[in-house]
Structure 1
């Protein structure tokens, strides 16, 4: 920072400056950020939560009553996100099950065409990421999400009507288009409903419970496989898509009528509860969102190195994920020697790890690491890296299986990184852009992942295993860099506020001004 910028900061008075340019466009706050930039916040640019600010003026939260409000939110919102996330993974892993249940033979699909089954899904996801994120910002959040889920369920059932590889690949692309709404919506819902200190645990729950989808999907596939009767019965792989599509469709309609678009419209909260929800959002310095696309926030996101760290971490996690999602059952059958039925059942332990491990990491993170989620993520990702070494380099089936199952521990890390986006990226437009970069990386990795499984290397797929190891090792380094950046940004903010001394006073309601994490002098990054 230059000396002139530092002087601007020292002369700045961080109090709410209520003036107006005209009656239609009042300036509700004037702030000088800690990088020396003077910002006027107009009423139309403020967060949605600002319209409720008169209701919470002078409110002191009662801790006991706040716990009751939090329980209401947890029981009303979390199960729906958990259900949708479970369906999301169950629907994606249907390919892995169907691949050993006759899908390829039924559609005359070559091994190379099957590799594109996994990748084509993420082409749709990738192409529609910007429109999906923009729609989630501009349109009612929960209704947009729910309608996308309903469309997703219908397209999933259409897979059973396919008679050739081309039609099946087209369905996969369209499925990816509508799943592109899911993860961005969950991240936005998490930042709306819970405090920053609560994000990691809640994200671990809804992200980790995708393991229930793995267990349910594997159980459905196993039941259809072993109870199939007669050579002319309806193909079991088609039943998998129809059943999972129906479950998804049902959850889409439930979420449409259940989840409110903003917390202050929640049917399950009384008026006092809604006031508490607004005041709880103050801690996050983010509010509920803003429907206006702000180019200054877009530029900040593009210039922030953390945006690209999220992109490359998403890539590093998704390369193994894309491989496991589409080739996991084939690896268990071909490389490990399990029968078709046993290979389907062996997906269940991974689902159990998905459910239990992220929750356990969340508890350990809170009690041992004092809620430093990035430290927890680094440790877990290094453990998974060791597991990938076992999968690559050990000849024994048991130790290789331990390495294979260690992949599911990475769910806790990806949950942690989603919670970091929720907590550490402020400004609604910036959050949308960073979210998009993260998920574009995730899409790209899932496109690359299936292509690492070279049919010529079957059944061991040594190239794919090496790619998984390199991905997790690189991901660990990226999280370490992110921790260092956030640590020093917090230190810089604390130091400059201390230098201001009595000249610094907190602007009223700056938490609801829709400022970015770098513009807001009160914002601190969660480590």
Structure 2
């Protein structure tokens, strides 16, 4: 049923064109009038990978009961692997926070300033390699590229235990950042491949929020080593943290390699009927499975699109507090709040629990109370976090300050929402790759800045860092409001354009799998 030959190209052409030499080589599949008034001719080499299956789903109707069973099958086969990798990713990043109060800084003769750069150096690697990572994910099979990066990242993590000085440790952090840079763009691409737009916010909240399980597991491992093993062995307990988490990462990388298909139509767990349903569901998204061709026109559109910069600045606004909490969370709990070393490790667990529970809860409330308008939910949640940061900054009671501290974890629901917005509202494979890159460059920049806001002279309260967190979350709220207004205006503009054309407007042939951008595709509507 699923064929990759091109014998049917002649039959696929439903449009009368003057055939020139280029059209003989790459036949026109569709002609489109875009939102900005351009006439776009889509040739077969421009199309999405899913286009070769278009004949199989013409006049195909979905059975809602069967689709519901298929959705459960996709959820159970794809979501747990993304969740496990996401948990492992955060667990690996927070190992520094645990190791820092388990003797690592003393054993490596690491100054306070050098430790600040431990957090930032990871994101230098992440930042520098963002373009190559995203390009490799577009050019090569998605699952194999992701899994290879995970396995290498696990090996590098274990190498941390062999470090004997700050320079070696910082080098390991840079290399770790390079290979962890494959993770988030991969998850966003996988989400856009497998789930409808209306389903993506909930799934993103689950896999992004489940990083909290990594926090709980990592804190539990560190606590067990600290309490039951102590720091007086020849092989220090903080080194065991990196060995254990590295082994877990390598194991999950191997599982990912054999389990996750590169595209849904190659899924080992789907039958032929399932694959037809997956294609039809992707067609309704007006997005397919990707195109390996890098398109300069989509690069130009991404650079000129103000949404791209909104994602960049939101990534930075979220990551400045994130970079601080990831590396200094345990230090704050130990020094500012007065918890013992063991208790400070345990106090990371409530934040992990919030990460797990709140994002899916927000997605459910969004679905039932806000008509699935995720951006409205994200604005409300970020406002709550701003109030929490005010408690952390301006109150003196330990309980209220701790409430403010823990409110940071609620923002996970907003960052998950931004990832799902990129997944569903940015179309065109090259454009999605570029916007992904901008968002993650902003995320890296914020995570580089975050640890630097913790000035050793302000210890243990770190008032400057707390103020930076408040400003960052306030700015993030404004950015999400801007995205909501811009997307709503664009939907109105598209509807108006189609209405003005009236009967003259006909849905362009094969438009869903033409690998058009969200602006180029007149059938595309932004999810609010």
Per the TM superposition, whether the score is higher than 0.5 is: yes
Does residue 473 in structure 1 map to residue 474 in structure 2?
yes
1:4-23 residue pairs with structure 2 within 5 A? 16-17=14-15, 19=17, 20-21=19-20, 22-23=23-24
Does residue 194 in structure 1 map to residue 195 in structure 2?
yes
User: Given that residues 102 and 231 in structure 2 are in contact (C-alpha distance below 8 angstroms), is that contact kept between their aligned partners in structure 1?
Assistant: no
1:348 paired residue number? 349
1:219 paired residue number? 220
1:225-244 residue pairs with structure 2 within 5 A? 225-229=226-230, 231-244=232-245
Alignment root-mean-square deviation, CA: 1.0
> What are the superposed Cα offsets for residues 64-99 of structure 1, whole Å, 9 maximum, x if unpaired?
011111111100000000000000000000000000
Q: Is the partner of 1:39 in helix, strand or coil? A: strand
Report the Cα distance in structure 1 between the residues aligned to 2:421 and 2:247, rounded to whole angstroms: 33
Q: Is the partner of 2:29 in helix, strand or coil? A: strand
User: Given that residues 16 and 30 in structure 1 are in contact (C-alpha distance below 8 angstroms), is that contact kept between their aligned partners in structure 2?
Assistant: no
TM-fit CA distance, 1:23:
3.4
User: Given that residues 490 and 524 in structure 1 are in contact (C-alpha distance below 8 angstroms), is that contact kept between their aligned partners in structure 2?
Assistant: yes
Report the Cα distance in structure 2 between the residues aligned to 1:407 and 1:109, rounded to whole angstroms: 28
Report the Cα distance in structure 1 between the residues aligned to 2:313 and 2:33, rounded to whole angstroms: 32
2:145 paired residue number? 144
Report the Cα distance in structure 1 between the residues aligned to 2:61 and 2:507, rounded to whole angstroms: 17
Change beyond 3 A, Cα 1:330–1:18 = farther
Q: Is the partner of 2:72 in helix, strand or coil? A: helix
Q: Is the partner of 1:30 in helix, strand or coil? A: strand
Comparing 403-412 with 66-75, greater Cα deviation is found at 66-75
> What are the superposed Cα offsets for residues 325-364 of structure 1, whole Å, 9 maximum, x if unpaired?
0000000000000000000000000000000000100100
> What are the superposed Cα offsets for residues 460-488 of structure 1, whole Å, 9 maximum, x if unpaired?
00000000000000000000011000000
TM-fit CA distance, 1:232:
3.3
Report the Cα distance in structure 2 between the residues aligned to 1:384 and 1:414, rounded to whole angstroms: 12
2:515 paired residue number? 514
2:376 paired residue number? 375
Q: Is the partner of 1:163 in helix, strand or coil? A: coil
1:23-102 residue pairs with structure 2 within 5 A? 23-102=24-103
Report the Cα distance in structure 2 between the residues aligned to 1:194 and 1:300, rounded to whole angstroms: 25
Report the Cα distance in structure 2 between the residues aligned to 1:203 and 1:163, rounded to whole angstroms: 39
2:7 paired residue number? none
Report the Cα distance in structure 2 between the residues aligned to 1:60 and 1:25, rounded to whole angstroms: 30
Does residue 171 in structure 1 map to residue 172 in structure 2?
yes
- Report the TM-score when normalising by structure 1: 0.96
Report the Cα distance in structure 1 between the residues aligned to 2:132 and 2:312, rounded to whole angstroms: 18
1:74-473 residue pairs with structure 2 within 5 A? 74-229=75-230, 231-473=232-474
- Report the TM-score when normalising by structure 2: 0.96
User: Given that residues 18 and 29 in structure 1 are in contact (C-alpha distance below 8 angstroms), is that contact kept between their aligned partners in structure 2?
Assistant: no
1:9 paired residue number? none
User: Given that residues 102 and 237 in structure 1 are in contact (C-alpha distance below 8 angstroms), is that contact kept between their aligned partners in structure 2?
Assistant: yes
Comparing 407-416 with 229-238, greater Cα deviation is found at 229-238
Report the Cα distance in structure 1 between the residues aligned to 2:253 and 2:231, rounded to whole angstroms: 35
TM-fit CA distance, 1:390:
0.2
TM-fit CA distance, 1:18:
6.0
Report the Cα distance in structure 1 between the residues aligned to 2:489 and 2:324, rounded to whole angstroms: 36
TM-fit CA distance, 1:231:
2.5
Q: Is the partner of 2:25 in helix, strand or coil? A: coil
Report the Cα distance in structure 1 between the residues aligned to 2:484 and 2:41, rounded to whole angstroms: 31
User: Given that residues 18 and 27 in structure 1 are in contact (C-alpha distance below 8 angstroms), is that contact kept between their aligned partners in structure 2?
Assistant: no
Report the Cα distance in structure 2 between the residues aligned to 1:375 and 1:500, rounded to whole angstroms: 32
* Moved beyond 3 Å, runs of 4+: 18-23
User: Given that residues 86 and 211 in structure 1 are in contact (C-alpha distance below 8 angstroms), is that contact kept between their aligned partners in structure 2?
Assistant: yes
User: Given that residues 377 and 479 in structure 1 are in contact (C-alpha distance below 8 angstroms), is that contact kept between their aligned partners in structure 2?
Assistant: yes
> What are the superposed Cα offsets for residues 276-323 of structure 1, whole Å, 9 maximum, x if unpaired?
100000111111100000000000000000000000000000000000
Comparing 27-36 with 401-410, greater Cα deviation is found at 27-36
User: Given that residues 16 and 507 in structure 1 are in contact (C-alpha distance below 8 angstroms), is that contact kept between their aligned partners in structure 2?
Assistant: no
Comparing 226-235 with 122-131, greater Cα deviation is found at 226-235
Report the Cα distance in structure 2 between the residues aligned to 1:74 and 1:131, rounded to whole angstroms: 30
User: Given that residues 231 and 237 in structure 2 are in contact (C-alpha distance below 8 angstroms), is that contact kept between their aligned partners in structure 1?
Assistant: no
User: Given that residues 353 and 409 in structure 1 are in contact (C-alpha distance below 8 angstroms), is that contact kept between their aligned partners in structure 2?
Assistant: yes
TM-fit CA distance, 1:36:
1.1
TM-fit CA distance, 1:210:
0.2
Q: Is the partner of 2:288 in helix, strand or coil? A: coil
Report the Cα distance in structure 1 between the residues aligned to 2:157 and 2:419, rounded to whole angstroms: 26
Gaps of 5+ in 2: 1-12
Report the Cα distance in structure 1 between the residues aligned to 2:527 and 2:326, rounded to whole angstroms: 31
TM-fit CA distance, 1:508:
2.7
Q: Is the partner of 1:23 in helix, strand or coil? A: helix
1:491 paired residue number? 492
Report the Cα distance in structure 2 between the residues aligned to 1:31 and 1:367, rounded to whole angstroms: 36
Change beyond 3 A, Cα 1:377–1:16 = farther
Report the Cα distance in structure 2 between the residues aligned to 1:24 and 1:150, rounded to whole angstroms: 41
Comparing 17-26 with 507-516, greater Cα deviation is found at 17-26
User: Given that residues 18 and 28 in structure 1 are in contact (C-alpha distance below 8 angstroms), is that contact kept between their aligned partners in structure 2?
Assistant: no
Q: Is the partner of 1:446 in helix, strand or coil? A: helix
Q: Is the partner of 2:42 in helix, strand or coil? A: strand
> What are the superposed Cα offsets for residues 423-476 of structure 1, whole Å, 9 maximum, x if unpaired?
000000000000000000000000000000000000000000000000000000
Report the Cα distance in structure 2 between the residues aligned to 1:428 and 1:506, rounded to whole angstroms: 21
User: Given that residues 45 and 514 in structure 1 are in contact (C-alpha distance below 8 angstroms), is that contact kept between their aligned partners in structure 2?
Assistant: yes
Report the Cα distance in structure 2 between the residues aligned to 1:238 and 1:45, rounded to whole angstroms: 50
